[in-house]
Structure 1
Amino acid sequence: MTTPARTRLRVGVDGVRARAVAVDSGGRLVAVHRGRRGDPPARVLDALFRRGPGMAPTDRVVAVLPDLTLAESAQRARVGVLRVGAPAATAVPPLAGWTAERAALAGPVAMVRGGHEYDGRVSAPLDVPAVAEFARTCAGKVDAIALTGVNALENPEHEQLAAAVIADELGPDVPVMRGAETEALGLLERENTAVLDAALVSAARVRIDELSAAVRVHAPDAALYLVRGDGTVLPSLDAYRHATAWRGAALGGLLHGAARLAGVPSAIVVEATAGRAVVGTTLGGLLPDSGLQREIDGIRTGLRAPRLTVIHRRDAGFTGKVLAAIARARGGRDELPVVVVGERAEEVPDPSGIAAIRPGDGDLAAAVGAAVAEAAGSVDRIFWQGTGGGQDSVTRARMLALDAALRAGADPRKLRETPVREALMTYVPVPAARLQVTAVGPLLESADVAAVEP
């Protein structure tokens, strides 16, 4: 298969199911490779390029990589854990709730004076000598540092300063993961996510470097992205530091890709396999939030879990439960089509009054979802409504989401936003509200970069 010479291709790699596709700017399939499950993603990408002679230049490669677990984390890489928040936030120590086996990955653990109030004011000066002393105790003992400051989402200054002090002491080869890099409300959830990212950074680097080497061979000018658990993208340079963000990418990419294969922007999607069925929804390129936070290896993180229903074939009344899950997912949105993919797609009956769509290339759904994935930025935090009132908070939340989407690679000319969801915090002594908003848009193509530069 070939495509016009002026078209720049988008390549999607499903590293879980060993599939790869190249699509043109119109979303049409140009080249396909179906490997054997277990083939390394780099080998799958290499095979795609070798099977597609005459392919046009590639603008980007977007990959679904398998979830990383602590058991795979480079012989249990050790992590130094530092919390900036004494004396205010010492009642519950770092790694609270972790099993002894999981907590064994930690090296030195400390809490130092510092942190901020809910409105960004300094609650205690940062104890810089204590931070430096912590770093020295970690020298030669840890592979990475997890650093979390109290209320650092509102004011990251102490986190940033502490990270600079640690880098001065340990050098650039010991990465520092900051909790404020994760958009999570709870201190423990941000801290847990930073610790997990720090523990997985070495294993993440190995996987990404292997894929990056294959990209450089076949498409040296292409940008490399990874799919997040919500089906949007993460630039590869950031993905090293945020391995937890990949969690669930295989399903996130599949939901979006199945809708794209069916030719619809939104859908209820069912993946039916020999062992289970998964029912989810994609709405205009976004996955509805379940309101729950994702657990990784039994550890509660700051990552939000999409709304999915998993039904195992061993469950009694399997077919009826699948149909009930589809009905719940529709939630009154009767216009939403139902798309069914997977090796057992034909075994899922059509819901009452609905003709389900079963794309012929359903096994490529996750790879297609990767190839056409968009960039997004989300904000979910409590805003203190100061002298500017609620409107200033809404404006700030929207700008933070837009900035995050641009950093992820979105085209600024094509961004769209979800409505801002607001929940007043009536149990706090000052005017405050929890605001949630997402900005999302297609990736900026390399040929378009000059068009948006000032």
Structure 2
Amino acid sequence: MMKYRLGIDVGGTNTDGVLLDRNMNVIQSLKTPTTNDVETGIYNTINQLIQNSDVEIQNIEYAMLGTTQCTNAIVERKRLNKIAVIRIGAPAGLAIKPLTGVPDDLRAILDNHTHLVEGGHEFNGQQISALNEDKIREISGTLKGKVDSIAVTSIFSPVNKDHENRAAEILNEVMGEDVAISLSSEVGSIGLLERENATILNASIINVAKATAEGFENALKNNGANAKIFFCQNDGTLMSKDYTLKYPILTVACGPTNSLRGASFLTNNKDAIIVDVGGTTTDIGVLVKGFPRQSSIAVDLGGVRTNFRMPDINSIGLGGGTVIRLNENEFSIGPDSVGHKIHDEAMIFGGNTLTATDVAVGLGKVTLGDPEKVNHLDKELLSKVYKRMVEMVEEAVDKIKTSSNDIPVILVGGGSILLPANIEGATKVFQPENGGVANAIGSAISQISGEIEKIFAINKENRQEVLNNAKELAINEAIEAGADSKKIEIVDLEDIPLAYLPGDATRVKVKAAGDLAVNS
């Protein structure tokens, strides 16, 4: 009996869905409008996929979801948890208070229960001062019934997380197991303030993640599916529901990542630049060995500086619905867009707004809607607009490259039909079939990963032994998350000497990834 995979990607405009068989062939794909509540939009997508194919719903073995819900909650300041912030680092870490630099509107929501406690470690794992367990117990009592999520951060906890783990034990003991606890050693990397911010944001979106996960489960159940579900994270791999509810921050930016992974799969390219053209923006990212290149700098999320892993994405204000303004022989492109209203407002569909899609149709680049509705426009001026649109993409591609060499470029996304087959700086331009739903395909084909980032004392004698141990830790993380132990490989390894710290301190970061462990 043939088994299938279902991939869903919930975007701001459309919810994309795709069905793959066990051989990873695309059986069916479609786009449906995104709804205000996650469940309805996903239900509609699943329902239509089944109706349009010959697949029996009970034969869907795995269902994967990529979603922007957690990102939107942070950006829009909506549906956030009631949280408490505990920093373990007194007296060493009192100079800068938690949430310093966070935008005022977000701090007003999150900064109601902030506590500083004695404890923390040095870079080499030695204790700065003992953890004040009595203070943690006292704080637990005052927070009981007032918050439903807690962010705990300790100095250098990625090196030694004993104080964070002990604090979590006390919090659970006093407040009960229902209170969600986010530990910074499991969320961010080295750098106290950015790691603390990432942990605070993680704690604030637990409820949003829970609602999204339950909506996905209900949409499947109400369609009659009994699939095993997974959620997409922003490194191009999957996590279980339990893992997602513990680390929802890892879903942030999974949409562009899914597009990169889907583009890689559709073209069999492991190293390329991906141009994902949507309705409002074009996202450009880089594939390295089949996975998105990670950002090497601290990332702002909703105005908050964080250091958890994020894909390196360059976004520009150009998409299918981008508004084009003409004024005699001059023009402007965006950055505003008609977005999901393109079928009502674009000229080729009978509307009154000139969009990037209208320009492409008017020049005969694309066959869509009613071309006669844009025949009256000055073709010479439209050509200038189109040329500038292409230049915007070429400039964005050039900015994200790390060398002057040309590299393959893959065009995906619903708006990719607007772009030409030749782009400056590309050895070859790929426009794959099913590229319009590359994000959903990326969701469906995702693997399971495990990642560690720690500071080790490395010298010439122990270097290989330390790196091998780090690899083993990452592989075990992947297996624990659900990967097949026989199909795991190391996909990324970094070791960077930290010259500002004594004792041969070296930051080691390793990621392992493998296929889902499946039952035959």
TM-score relative to the length of structure 2: 0.78
Q: For residues 301 and 59 of structure 1, do their structure 2 counterparts lie closer, same or farther at Cα, with a shift above 3 Å needed?
A: same
Q: How does 1:55-454 map to 2 (within 5 A)?
A: 55=56, 57-68=59-70, 69-70=73-74, 75-104=79-108, 105-217=110-222, 221-313=226-318, 314=333, 317-327=388-398, 329=400, 331=402, 336-349=407-420, 350-352=422-424, 354-385=427-458, 389-418=462-491, 420-447=493-520
Output one character per residue of 1:300-344: Cα deviation in whole Å (capped at 9) or x when no partner. 122223222223243794422322433455545968532112333
1:251: how far off?
0.7
Query: Which has the larger Rg?
Result: 2
Whether the 8 Å contact between 2:234 and 2:253 is mirrored in structure 1 is yes
Whether the 8 Å contact between 1:183 and 1:381 is mirrored in structure 2 is no
2:49: which partner in 1? 48
> Given residue 389 of structure 1, which amino acid in structure 2 is its aligned partner?
N
Consecutive unaligned residues in structure 2, runs of 5 or more: 319-332, 335-384
Consecutive unaligned residues in structure 1, runs of 5 or more: 448-454
Q: For residues 220 and 150 of structure 1, do their structure 2 counterparts lie closer, same or farther at Cα, with a shift above 3 Å needed?
A: farther
TM-score relative to the length of structure 1: 0.89
> Given residue 259 of structure 1, which amino acid in structure 2 is its aligned partner?
S
> Given residue 168 of structure 1, which amino acid in structure 2 is its aligned partner?
E
Match of 2:129, SS state, is: coil
Match of 2:483, SS state, is: coil
**CA–CA distance in structure 1, aligned partners of residues 502 and 146 of structure 2:** 44
Whether the 8 Å contact between 1:285 and 1:374 is mirrored in structure 2 is no
Q: For residues 254 and 243 of structure 1, do their structure 2 counterparts lie closer, same or farther at Cα, with a shift above 3 Å needed?
A: same
Match of 1:418, SS state, is: strand
**CA–CA distance in structure 1, aligned partners of residues 102 and 46 of structure 2:** 38
Whether the 8 Å contact between 1:58 and 1:219 is mirrored in structure 2 is no
Whether the 8 Å contact between 2:449 and 2:511 is mirrored in structure 1 is yes
1:372: how far off?
0.2
**CA–CA distance in structure 1, aligned partners of residues 505 and 427 of structure 2:** 44
1:48: how far off?
2.7
Q: For residues 61 and 85 of structure 1, do their structure 2 counterparts lie closer, same or farther at Cα, with a shift above 3 Å needed?
A: same
Whether the 8 Å contact between 1:266 and 1:281 is mirrored in structure 2 is yes
Q: For residues 15 and 419 of structure 1, do their structure 2 counterparts lie closer, same or farther at Cα, with a shift above 3 Å needed?
A: closer
Whether the 8 Å contact between 1:292 and 1:304 is mirrored in structure 2 is no
Structure 1 window deviating more from structure 2 (20-29 vs 345-354): it is 345-354
Work out the percentage of aligned pairs sharing the same amino acid.
25
Structure 1 window deviating more from structure 2 (53-62 vs 248-257): it is 53-62
Q: For residues 426 and 299 of structure 1, do their structure 2 counterparts lie closer, same or farther at Cα, with a shift above 3 Å needed?
A: same
Match of 2:298, SS state, is: strand
**CA–CA distance in structure 1, aligned partners of residues 290 and 224 of structure 2:** 26
**CA–CA distance in structure 1, aligned partners of residues 511 and 196 of structure 2:** 23
Whether the 8 Å contact between 1:107 and 1:142 is mirrored in structure 2 is no
**CA–CA distance in structure 2, aligned partners of residues 133 and 57 of structure 1:** 52
1:423: how far off?
2.0
Match of 2:513, SS state, is: strand
Q: For residues 106 and 53 of structure 1, do their structure 2 counterparts lie closer, same or farther at Cα, with a shift above 3 Å needed?
A: farther
**CA–CA distance in structure 1, aligned partners of residues 65 and 492 of structure 2:** 29
**CA–CA distance in structure 1, aligned partners of residues 401 and 76 of structure 2:** 38
